[in-house]
Amino acid sequence: MKKYFLPFLSILALLVSPGFSAAQGADKHPLEGRVWSPRTGGFLTEEALFERMARARAVYLGEIHDNPIHHRLQARAYRALLDRGRRHALAFEMFSTDVQPALSKLLRDPEADLSKVPEVTGWDRRGWPDWSMYAPLVELAHRAGLPVLAADLPRALAGRVSRKGLGELPPDLARELALGPPDPGKRETMLDVFFESHCRALPREKLGNLFESWRARNRTMALTMARALREGSEGALLITGGGHAERETGVPSDLDALAPGVEQFALAFAEVRDGETRPEAYRARPGAYDALWFTPAHPREDPCVKYKKGLERMKKGH
């Protein structure tokens, strides 16, 4: 699991939103703070963005996990939906389905101590950024009396699938996920992404099981969203990495299959990079998102340097 699953979470996010740079110039980047619609080729005001989001029953806010600005904007967007009278359940990639009982038990109390969420979900053991960046979202949902949903496949199981394949899924879960043969085009696209996100350090032909884990995770998150819609939620909003928010290769594609006709909206937060002022240069792929919200880049160590050092240590048995 540690060989490639954890680095993938952060490195893929950088590639999906490729505006990473080690330092920002003194002057504000011309795209910073703006929202762009790939479908129309024009810019949107925040008000127009929120109005479009409010029309969708399924909303995705695709982050780069360690960028605190992305989390502040997610809270702003969710608050905007609530202010418009929309009552979307709040789902998290960061919570796996096995913690739902403990999470629901805590949040059932209107006066719950929300500082206990990390404890009951094992947050500090799961490799995510500091909980304080996500806490305002849970506070908004809890204050509004809306469900907070644990959406992702349990991490240990996802790790086994990424190493050995879909045969690692328990039979009941395999039947529920009902993953048929993969779309060849999507498979090739994602193998390219995984190859780059692992810094070209692993042979591309050995990443097929990681793709199967990706499919199982996307389907699990889509099932969580579909179940919320089916059981009476007006809508569902997923907090997730930018890759899982993609319309054609992420969770929205699976939700299309599970709940045809549900209107969806995928927003990704994109880090600007010095010298690149064309908004279309930040798309992962045409049609990937309904909107891109540009932000400053968050300073971070080159993930490939760190990842390759880790591989060398494992090869030496350390």
Position 305 scores a pLDDT of 83
DSSP-based three-state secondary structure for 240: strand
Round the average pLDDT of the chain to a whole number and report it.
Answer: 90
* Cα–Cα distance, 122 to 99 (Å, whole number): 8
Q: How confident is the model at residue 290 (pLDDT cuts 50, 70, 90)?
A: very high
Position 286 scores a pLDDT of 78
CA-based torsion, 115, 86, 129, 272: positive or negative: negative
Tell me phi and psi for residue 253, to 5 degrees.
-65, -40
* Cα–Cα distance, 42 to 253 (Å, whole number): 24
Which residues lie below 8 Å from residue 212, measured CB to CB, with a gap of 6+?
161, 162, 165, 166, 179, 182
Q: Which two tokens stand for residue 135?
A: 């806490």
Residue carrying structure tokens 């070209």: 200
- pLDDT(311) > 80: no
For the segment 120-146, the average pLDDT, to the nearest whole number, is 97
* Cα–Cα distance, 136 to 71 (Å, whole number): 9
- pLDDT(68) > 80: yes
CA angle 169, 7, 93 (to 5 degrees): 55
Distance of CA 166 to the CA centre of its chain: 21
* Cα–Cα distance, 209 to 38 (Å, whole number): 32
Position 18 scores a pLDDT of 37
CA-based torsion, 13, 16, 20, 25: positive or negative: negative
Q: What is the pLDDT of residues 92-131, one digit of tens each?
A: 999 999 999 999 999 999 999 999 999 999 999 999 999 9
**Is the full-model pTM beyond 0.85?**
yes
Identify the residue with better confidence: 152 or 312: 152
Which residues lie below 8 Å from residue 158, measured CB to CB, with a gap of 6+?
5, 152, 213, 216, 217
- pLDDT(1) > 70: no
Position 317 scores a pLDDT of 59
Q: What is the pLDDT of residues 2-42, one digit of tens each?
A: 333 333 444 344 334 433 333 444 589 999 999 999 999 99
Which domains, from first to last, does the chain contain?
5-15+35-315 (3.40.50.11550)
Position 26 scores a pLDDT of 58
Q: How confident is the model at residue 314 (pLDDT cuts 50, 70, 90)?
A: low
* Cα–Cα distance, 254 to 60 (Å, whole number): 13
Q: How confident is the model at residue 86 (pLDDT cuts 50, 70, 90)?
A: very high
- pLDDT(132) > 90: yes
Tell me phi and psi for residue 149, to 5 degrees.
-110, 135
Q: Which two tokens stand for residue 164?
A: 């050995």
Neighbours of 250 (CB within 10 A): 31
- pLDDT(243) > 60: yes
Q: How confident is the model at residue 191 (pLDDT cuts 50, 70, 90)?
A: very high
* Cα–Cα distance, 16 to 249 (Å, whole number): 12
